[in-house]
Chains A and B, each alone.
Chain A
């Protein structure tokens, strides 16, 4: 007779650092389940036969199966189950938007909160990473070389998939550090760099080679890779080109793209004392946008020592695309949300009497206009409309634009026969992620435009399987 499920209607709470403390440090916000908490939460799972949660997961983790192992206290067994589908569980458990994926399908969510699948995944991965000295993998190599362009989520997932199947995988990275957006974008307090490094070293142990400081399209082209012995190339270059609003004053000192602000803080470690990289700290900061990147930028600014941080978003809280948890954390930490508000100009210091005034050219305020929600647009979101004569200024020293990114045109411009759509996204076959060019596959934000880490991983994994289908006959 199996044990009855835990009927508690809410998730086992995640221990977190107190908001007033964490607003001033870069340590991880959520500290993770204990073994007892994990087992308690695992007991909430009904182990549904039709497994709706798995359908909500882009990489199809066998969720009920791994949760059953957690429930039995077999954490190593749980890790093995997850490993069959995902090579990067410590990352996914932290940054996936579970509320719109696996957890949104959970039967327990109908009458209460769904099972905390993400928290359990994180627990299992952390348990494994803490305990094991990396297992040396003795995978039989097949001698076929595959090149992966970009070491972000899609590239890492594709590399893991192919390495597991015996391919000799080389990942090329333009920056000096591996991880793509996981390294330069997502802040330390949400994804500690040591977690990322551990997941990457797991791949290295599987035989994956990494080459930093190589810009594909410049240092070496996709065609040169194909001509140089690589059987196939996977492009996972992301959507790195930042967008600006096109309003006056965006060239002022103190206006950053979220990419620049986060890159300075994360990748270039400006958050550390005595860093070599400058960043504007303190003062008042306005972050424009309502996505995860906006939350990351706002919370980073706060931790760097800002007096006051505003999120400026043109729609209402209900339309905000960021993960619910990130919005809640931001509110708890004291970030002020200026919703239904849109910037129309960034205002700068301009001392006409003293051209040498050091403040000249720096931001002093952001001019905004109030918005109201009108008719739904093509995506069903209600379109924000300006309210006439409602302009007002907010005094700020720093403005961070977090309004999205576009794919980098470098690969397209240097690779013959690679089709892109009108937004610059690489066009692929939906089943295989094959591009218009033979032996070249692509996935992640380079294909979809800015999306999530896990959908990129899903694409990398699927493309890895398709590449295997293509090349395995050459073995």
Chain B
């Protein structure tokens, strides 16, 4: 069992937790993920490591409450335990030899972008952060990004906060004005990453994307997380989760992520109803 040591809501639907898992905390690096199971009989879900405290043995996870399992996880409080927590899985993000980096985060993807940006900063790179959200009320990690960024841009789709538009608006402006990056790291919804890659391509700047497909074991056993990169089949869990964005078939990745949409919606509703009953 793995105990929850801290818990905090970052906005209405995004929750941050520190889980006591000393072996994972000792090893995890930016870009890697863990797989957890809330309770016996539950689903295994992958979540990217948002930070670690090796001394305290804590692993930080940030998740959006989108389905039945994340709903159940959110019902757990400080002092409660979850049954399984395994990692770190996947390969760490490659940050070596990058002097000028641009980190682009979208929505809850900012939770994954944050440790990458911090790792880049710690390695001595000049970091430009561009983070985007749908609306003001779901903005997360703004202060954290500001603190470690040499340049910081924030957008909202509806213009309720920061600059109006998606992340490609400031990115395109920067690139058009001649700003050179060694690498762009895009982490967020598939559609966002697809457009960031298209923008990066226009200016011939390498773009790394962090893929988040459906997974089961996370160790290369099931092949569920496969995606096409430059026409070749890759497994996100062992070959990734980071890939060269130029080669990723985003359309395939998008339909694959929708495979169980109907089932997930139904389960979510059942779980919500269950908790409502308990509250009553």
Q: B267 contacts A276, CB within 8 Å?
A: yes
Checking B27, B223, B249 against A244 with a beta-carbon cut-off of 8 angstroms, the contacting residue is B223
Checking A176, A218, A242, A264 against B37 with a beta-carbon cut-off of 8 angstroms, the contacting residue is A176
Q: A215 contacts B219, CB within 8 Å?
A: yes
Closest to B89 in A: A218
The interface residues of chain B lying within 8 Å CB-to-CB of A214 are: 23, 86
Q: B84 contacts A213, CB within 8 Å?
A: yes
Q: A276 contacts B68, CB within 8 Å?
A: yes
* Total contacts A-B at CB 8 Å: 111
The interface residues of chain B lying within 8 Å CB-to-CB of A212 are: 84
Q: How far is the CA of A55 from the CA of B43 in the complex (A)?
A: 44
Closest to A250 in B: B233
Q: How far is the CA of A242 from the CA of B44 in the complex (A)?
A: 19
User: B178 within 8 Å of A by Cβ?
Assistant: no
Q: A174 contacts B219, CB within 8 Å?
A: yes
User: A263 within 8 Å of B by Cβ?
Assistant: yes
Q: How far is the CA of A278 from the CA of B44 in the complex (A)?
A: 12
The interface residues of chain A lying within 8 Å CB-to-CB of B226 are: 244, 250-251
The interface residues of chain B lying within 8 Å CB-to-CB of A263 are: 216-217, 221-222
Q: B221 contacts A242, CB within 8 Å?
A: yes
Q: How far is the CA of A256 from the CA of B68 in the complex (A)?
A: 23
Q: A240 contacts B221, CB within 8 Å?
A: yes
User: B194 within 8 Å of A by Cβ?
Assistant: no
Q: A220 contacts B23, CB within 8 Å?
A: yes
The interface residues of chain B lying within 8 Å CB-to-CB of A277 are: 43
Q: Interface on chain A toward B: helix, strand, loop, or mixed SS?
A: loop
Checking B42, B44, B216, B267 against A260 with a beta-carbon cut-off of 8 angstroms, the contacting residue is B216
Q: A215 contacts B86, CB within 8 Å?
A: yes
A residues 166-188 with Cβ under 8 Å of B? 174-176, 184
Q: How far is the CA of A213 from the CA of B252 in the complex (A)?
A: 31
Convert A242-283 into 0s and 1s, putting 1 for each residue whose CB lies closer than 8 angstroms to a CB of B. 101010001101101101100110011100000111100000
User: B83 within 8 Å of A by Cβ?
Assistant: yes
Q: B221 contacts A408, CB within 8 Å?
A: yes
Q: A215 contacts B44, CB within 8 Å?
A: no
The interface residues of chain B lying within 8 Å CB-to-CB of A260 are: 216, 222-224
The interface residues of chain B lying within 8 Å CB-to-CB of A268 are: 43-44, 216
User: B279 within 8 Å of A by Cβ?
Assistant: no
Q: A215 contacts B89, CB within 8 Å?
A: yes
Q: A259 contacts B221, CB within 8 Å?
A: yes
Looking at B143-151, B197-205, B256-264, the stretch in contact with chain A turns out to be: B256-264
Q: B86 contacts A213, CB within 8 Å?
A: yes
Q: How far is the CA of A246 from the CA of B84 in the complex (A)?
A: 34
Q: A278 contacts B84, CB within 8 Å?
A: no
Convert B231-258 into 0s and 1s, putting 1 for each residue whose CB lies closer than 8 angstroms to a CB of A. 0010100100000000001001001101
Total count of chain A residues near the partner, CB < 8 A:
39
User: B185 within 8 Å of A by Cβ?
Assistant: no
Q: How far is the CB of A83 from chain B (nearest CB, A)?
A: 31
User: B228 within 8 Å of A by Cβ?
Assistant: yes
| Contacts A212-B84, A251-B227 given; does A176 touch B44 at CB 8 Å | yes
The interface residues of chain A lying within 8 Å CB-to-CB of B227 are: 251
Closest to B215 in A: A260
Q: B219 contacts A240, CB within 8 Å?
A: yes
The interface residues of chain A lying within 8 Å CB-to-CB of B222 are: 242, 257, 259-260, 263
Checking A267, A276, A408 against B219 with a beta-carbon cut-off of 8 angstroms, the contacting residue is A408
The interface residues of chain A lying within 8 Å CB-to-CB of B86 are: 174, 176, 213-215, 219
The interface residues of chain B lying within 8 Å CB-to-CB of A275 are: 41
The interface residues of chain B lying within 8 Å CB-to-CB of A408 are: 219-221, 238
Q: How far is the CA of A276 from the CA of B23 in the complex (A)?
A: 28
Q: How far is the CB of A401 from chain B (nearest CB, A)?
A: 8
User: B88 within 8 Å of A by Cβ?
Assistant: yes
Q: How far is the CB of A467 from chain B (nearest CB, A)?
A: 25
Q: A219 contacts B267, CB within 8 Å?
A: no
The interface residues of chain A lying within 8 Å CB-to-CB of B235 are: 241
User: B69 within 8 Å of A by Cβ?
Assistant: yes
The interface residues of chain A lying within 8 Å CB-to-CB of B260 are: 278
Q: B233 contacts A278, CB within 8 Å?
A: no
Q: How far is the CB of A100 from chain B (nearest CB, A)?
A: 27
Closest to B222 in A: A260
Q: A213 contacts B85, CB within 8 Å?
A: yes
Q: How far is the CA of A218 from the CA of B264 in the complex (A)?
A: 30
The interface residues of chain A lying within 8 Å CB-to-CB of B228 are: 251
Q: B252 contacts A251, CB within 8 Å?
A: yes
The interface residues of chain A lying within 8 Å CB-to-CB of B220 are: 240-241, 408-410
Closest to B267 in A: A276
Q: A174 contacts B217, CB within 8 Å?
A: yes
Q: A176 contacts B68, CB within 8 Å?
A: no
Q: How far is the CA of A213 from the CA of B27 in the complex (A)?
A: 14
Q: How far is the CA of A240 from the CA of B220 in the complex (A)?
A: 7
Q: How far is the CB of A20 from chain B (nearest CB, A)?
A: 29
Q: B223 contacts A242, CB within 8 Å?
A: yes
The interface residues of chain A lying within 8 Å CB-to-CB of B238 are: 241, 408-410
Given contacts A253-B258, A263-B222, A276-B267, 7 further A-B contacts (CB under 8 A): A174-B217, A176-B44, A176-B84, A219-B23, A244-B233, A256-B223, A260-B222
- Return 5 A-B CB contacts under 8 Å, by A number: A184-B217, A244-B223, A268-B216, A361-B255, A408-B220
Residues of A within 8 A of B (CB): 174-176, 184, 212-215, 218-220, 240-242, 244, 246, 250-251, 253-254, 256-257, 259-260, 263-264, 267-269, 275-278, 358, 360-361, 408-410
Nearest 3 pairs of A and B residues by beta carbon: A361-B255, A260-B222, A257-B223
